[in-house]
Structure 1
Amino acid sequence: MKKLKLVAVTSCPTGIAHTYMAAESLEQAAEAAGHEMRVETQGAAGAERLSDAEIAEADAVIFAADVEVREKERFAGKPTIRGGVKRGINDASGMVAEAVAAAENAPAAGAAPTAVSAPATPQKAPGFGTQLRQWLMTGVSYMIPFVAAGGILIALAFMIGGAQIAAIVDGGVYEGVEYAGITDLSAILAEAGIAGVMFKIGATAFSMLVAVLAGYIAYAMADRVGLAAGIVGGLLAVAIGAGFLGGLVAGLLAGAIVMWLKKIKAPRGLDSLMPILVIPLLSVFAIGFLMLVVIGGPIAAVQNGLTDWLQGLTGANALALGALLGAMMGFDLGGPVNKVAYLFGTGALVSDNLTVMAAVMAAGMVPPLGLALATVVRKKLFSDAERQAGKAAWVLGASFITEGAIPFAAADPFRVIASTIAGGATAGALSMAFGSTLRAPHGGIWVIGLIGNPLGYLIAIIAGSLVTCAVVIGLKQLTRTAAAPQPTPVAA
């Protein structure tokens, strides 16, 4: 068998765990099949770029990505296999086999196609649902660094300077005292101290969330030329009070408008002006008009209604919401459903509802912690590789990296995911029941000083981890017992 040169790109919404796990799986699968593999990881720390020479020498390309691959035009003309990042983790050998088949069926370089030549392996175009998920996840992936940096800075500012720091910096009334706010930002350190500086920087980062979300949704749909319309649409969504919902709609509409404008055949003399002048001008005006005049108001009404509903949740309703969000966090362990719950939590955080974000983070910490505990309680039910993964899962879970549970789910999806859903729902509901609050959108146990009612919060996490541990052990033991052969009766 001929040794082939393969290249791949892996990317997930957060760019932390899935991205690098898929890269490692693909490299191992290619090596096992006797082929050479180089992987470009488009992660949170930036892309480890493939060189032009490596791409030119490649026989086939694999995209294992849940977000739009950046600069994918570099791979044009190469046989390409596409799939989600989880497939890159769980079915790397299958993706490598498909890439090999595509490379072997591709026409030789420079060969003229003939009527009888065999085409390369056809690739099914992704459906609208898959594309929509990729567009949204691209926006979320670019937004998350702003969420983490801004949210934690704001939380630290409140911890150092007290809850009045927001009124001191931006003006307003706190506990009967009216503050004028700081108009000269060059004097902010002298007037508000380091807490005021941290609050202003964090609030500025937070103010960019919706614009970044909308801009990169449009970017995923229409490439760079869609960025301006998306960002402007997101800024207008904030200005009219449409919030995250407005940003999502603005990004999708801006991308759709630019995609349509790019299809227009311009006269030859205007070709070069279309992407730098005509399309940005028309698309920015179109999305601006739609947000300000047509759809912005109704979306703002829905957003305000959602905010009021969250603020009014008490008793059983709050518990049900916490359980639902917790179950979503444990369902696909960093995938799209998990990210929807996380986005809901950050949206509530921006609206100053701190209990929802607390429930989301507590539930997201539980899957790795519960499974790590299970590997200690009943070692014999887990393989050597899973026990090793359990050692790392302690730290990953404590750091709110839900993806630490993926090695377990990949090996035994049904029983593991059932346990993480149960544990996540337990933690989310208990966090809401204890009324725990959280100003930081990330950080796990390391931001315990920023958590309201930390004792109740720890109880929620411990309870959820115990439930995950008990369910996964019970299911593994139950199926193991059911599968055990019955002893053959011995004749007297």
Structure 2
Amino acid sequence: MSEMINPELVDLGLAAASKEEAARALARRMESLGRITDLEGFLADVAAREEQMPTGLEGGIGIPHCRSAHVTAPTLAFGRAPGGVDFGAPDGPADLIFLIAAPAGADDAHLTILSSLARRLMRPEFVAALRAATTAEQAATLVAGGDPAPYLPAPEAPTRPAPEAATRPAQPTGSAQPTGSAPSTAQPARPGAASAEASAEPTASGVPETTAGGGVVDSGEAADRPQLRMVAVTSCPTGIAHTYMAAESLAQAAREAGIDLTVETQGSAGFTKLTPEAIAAADAVVFAHDVPVRDRARFAGKPTVDVGVKAGINRPAELLAEARDKAARGETEAHAPTPVEEAGESQDGYGAKLRTWLMSGVSYMVPFVAAGGLLIALAFAIGGYTIDQAPSVADHFVWTESASWAALLFQTGGLAFGFLVPVLAGYIAYGMADRPGLVPGFVGGSVALTINAGFLGGLIAGLIAGGTVLAVQRVKIPTALRGIMPVVVLPLIGSAVTAFLMFLVVGKPIASLQQALTDWLSGLTGANAIILGVILGLMMCFDLGGPLNKVAYAFAIGGLATPNEGSLKVMAAVMAAGMVPPLAMALATTLRGRLFSKTERENGKAAWFLGASFISEGAIPFAAADPLRVIPASMVGGAVTGALSMAFECTLRAPHGGIFVIPLIGNPLLYLIAIAAGTATTAALVILLKGLRRTAPAAQPGEAGPAAPAEVTAAA
């Protein structure tokens, strides 16, 4: 820890009126030591993390933190603000402020050390010593892991820490009072801290030390009664601070209550899963998290308390008591959360959930499409467009004939392609209802193929299958039957209901709609085709691999399931437009490198290959750094390319591959012209827009580019 903080990173008289000013003051200390390469970019990352969830904690602590590409080494800066700074804590401003900066690729060892600070913040003697420190050297030593005892207030003067503790309800009280302090009856029912020696430090995996039996060491107060066993999972968006603070707080509360508790910290330092034996033996489960609990289905059927990570820090005793009560009543969750429920925010509406369900199916379908489509495209390239009439290679295969090898590729690709609709339906249902939805989803997708309902039929079948399973899961089932629900009852009922509805109710109307869509695509010519190309180009370049991009791509590959002239044109336009953003960024950094930072220029070199390979995500670093200029310019170029591709009547049978499948494209020369036109358009617009705003030289030493714009945003 000593290499992460030193006296130059400590400000015991931090004067700041807002959390932004506090973060900037501490970040400047990091910048002066070369720990930050771009101050504004780093502060934008800190602000983005604050928007996810306030980082103020009860007890007068603010702990802003983030992982950022602008950080060169894991760093801690500490400030003591006598006037207090509001970091969103419910009990008021913070006077102890820690700014934690971790590199985007920080290793597990560094993040484990950072997590140990979060745990120590839950110990009253550590917090009291920080408030009593008189020099920056003392504070740096404490934060680096030094013994707080020499810096605690003298026993004969207990009045300094006592009133502060009484006014900060989040500071633990009880068995580990600072020297000379007495427990205050004004404190809320907050568990006391065990001694520093008994507290559970994180191991290399980020998991607290446990007893041989899997539980945190018990205080022995409840030795005369059966010991309650619990497990807990803690996690936060960044996985650096709150994750481990909640774990420590729950561990302290468990020791006070005589509960055998094992905590799984799902933090950035990695995590070791709770053993199946520990989960099976647990009487109840506590989830204190702000990001989805990984593999949450492990805890199905257990009495569960589910709260945000701050509740785990601020009121652990209450959570454990609630879990105890639920265990006594035998109250369990109706069903385990699905992958989609875990992936979304609790406040997401049905529209957001529907989009995520559909994207779940599409993401699993794409590998089948890519493998099958490329095999079929190669077969046509080797054996010509009559290869689809070749006999089965199981009956006729000549090792020395290219036609036989082409037939093998075509028939293998056809088999892979045949899974497209069932996989789409199966994993939409999986996204909704977890594994019990897979069988009904695959059955529904197969029915969609049987009745020629195609891609649209697969979408509807997946939603029907998932919805059916969810409905059955909500029915109260006797405990004795719960074991057979996932493997017998849910697949049986779900498959029967889905097949009935697809065969007899909704299947035929969907098949008619699918046929109408196919006929429409086949008849696209002239202005209609160009307009569709513009729309697809805009969608492909709006979010660079995000939901809207995936919708356009799914529309294109859905047409490949029943290929015709129109669907092949759509596939060509979609791939061409998707290649434009990264190619344009590569071209712009080559032509006017001084408009871009050194990092962007390096990314530009890689973007040549990414764009040529049809990987739109190659432009994301540029869009994240300057979205108001890069994204609109990319959309304009994508629209130009999409329109030209449709106007030139270019076709494509392969769903992926970029320039590497140019021999498989109809009108390949015109296709390349369309891509070049869109690339040039986007590059010119980006250069123009960046040139207009560039009024000052670069602020970073050694950088040719300008300082980061005010509107920069980045994910925490």
TM-score between the two structures when normalised by the length of structure 1: 0.76
Separation in 1, partners of 2:368, 2:690: 41
Unaligned runs of 5+ in 1: 4-24, 40-51, 65-71, 84-98, 115-122, 169-180, 484-492
Supply the AA of the counterpart residue of 2:669: L
CA apart distance, 1:306: 0.5
Residues 349, 356 of structure 1: 8 Å contact kept: no
Distance in 1 (alpha carbons) for counterparts of 2:350 and 2:586: 37
Alpha carbons 1:63, 1:82 under 8 Å: kept: no
Q: CA deviation at 1:253?
A: 1.1
Task: State the Cα distance separating 1:304 from its structure 2 match.
Answer: 0.5
Q: Map of 1:473-492 to 2, 5 A cutoff? A: 473-480=687-694
Q: What's the CA shift for 1:189?
A: 5.1
Relative CO higher for 1 or 2, CA cutoff 8 Å, sep ≥ 6? 1
Deviations 1:401-423 (A, max 9, x none): 00000001101111110011001
Does 1:295 pair with 2:506? yes
Q: Looking at secondary structure, tell me which structure has more helix per residue.
A: 1
Task: Please state whether the residue corresponding to 2:290 is helix, strand or coil.
Answer: strand
Q: CA deviation at 1:80?
A: 2.4
One of 120, 144, 148 as aligned partner of 2:366: 144
Q: In structure 2, do the counterparts of structure 1 residues 235 and 26 end up closer, same or farther at CA, with 3 Å as the change threshold?
A: farther
Map 1:92-491 onto structure 2 (within 5 A): 104-105=313-314, 107=316, 112=321, 124-168=346-390, 181-182=391-392, 185-188=394-397, 193-352=404-563, 353-480=567-694
Q: Which residue of 2 aligns with 1:60?
A: 235
Deviations along 1:335-382, one digit per CA (max 9) or x if unpaired, are 000001101111122221311101100000000000111111111211
- Cα distance in 1 between the residues matched to 2:234 and 2:690: 43
**Seq. identity, %:** 55
TM-superposed CA distance for 1:106, in Å, is: 6.3
1:65-116 deviation line (CA, Å, top 9, x unaligned): xxxxxxx999974432349xxxxxxxxxxxxxxx9857644627995469xx
Structure showing greater Rg:
2
Alignment RMSD (CA, Å): 3.3
- AA partner of residue 525 (structure 2): T
Kindly state the Cα deviation for residue 60 of structure 1 after the two structures are TM-superposed: 1.9
Counterpart pick for 1:79 among 265, 281, 288 = 288
Deviations 1:101-138, CA, capped at 9 Å, x for gaps: 57644627995469xxxxxxxx7433222222221111
In structure 1, what is the Cα distance between the partners aligned to 2:696 and 2:517?
47
Q: Is the 8 A contact 1:332 1:338 kept in 2?
A: yes
- Equivalent-residue separation in structure 1 for 2:629 and 2:315 (angstroms): 41
The whole-number CA distance in structure 2 between the counterparts of 1:207 and 1:345 is: 16
Task: Give the letter aligned to residue 135 of structure 1.
Answer: W
| CA–CA distance in structure 1, aligned partners of residues 671 and 641 of structure 2 | 9
Distance 2:645 2:461 in 1: 33
CA distance in 1, matches of 2:662, 2:484: 53
Q: Provide closer, same or farther for how the CA distance between residues 104 and 304 of structure 1 changes in structure 2, counting only shifts above 3 A.
A: same
Partner SS state of residue 316, structure 2: coil
Q: Which runs of 5+ in 2 are unaligned?
A: 5-65, 76-99, 110-202, 209-232, 240-272, 280-284, 293-307, 324-344, 698-716
Look up the SS of the partner of 1:79 in the other structure. strand
Give yes or no for contact 1:63–1:80 (8 Å, CA) kept in 2: no
* Conservation of the 8 A alpha-carbon contact between 1:189 and 1:196: no
Deviation at 1:453?
1.0
State the shift of 1:452 in Å: 1.3
Distance 1:388 1:380 in 2: 12
State how far apart, in whole Å, the 2-side matches of 1:350 and 1:274 are.
Answer: 35
Q: Is the 8 A contact 2:422 2:445 kept in 1?
A: yes
